[in-house]
Amino acid sequence: MNLTTGKRTAVDEPGETHGHCWSPDGSRVAHTWQRTLDKPAEVAERETLLITCDPDGRDRTTVARKKAEIPENGSGRSGVVYFFWVSDWH
């Protein structure tokens, strides 16, 4: 979001993001992304991507990705499962 104008820019296709940070010079954004699932309890395999992009969402680069099968537990396979968390840019 541009704090001066209040304009919001979507930087990825719809999905679940969890954590983000800016590069020290403000030219790039890093965030995690995972596809939104209609019925997560029915999907055993999940994939989380660690992505960097320009502030307007262009020039996307997938830095890392992890795909794994999620075993059922007491609550099944419900919800989002993340393998990365963005907290700082190094």
- Domains of the chain: total: 1
Instruction: Supply the pLDDT for residue 16.
Output: 79
Instruction: Please give the Cα distance from 5 to 20 (Å, whole number).
Output: 21
State the average pLDDT for the chain. Answer: 80
Q: Domain range spanning residue 14?
A: 1-90
Instruction: Supply the pLDDT for residue 52.
Output: 92
Percent of the chain at pLDDT > 90 equals 16
Instruction: Supply the pLDDT for residue 90.
Output: 65
Strands lying side by side in the sheet with 20-22: 20-22, 29-33, 45-53, 61-69
The three-state secondary structure class of 41 is helix
Question: For the segment 2-43, what is each residue's pLDDT rounded down to a tens digit?
Answer: 778 888 777 667 787 777 888 999 899 898 888 888 887 788
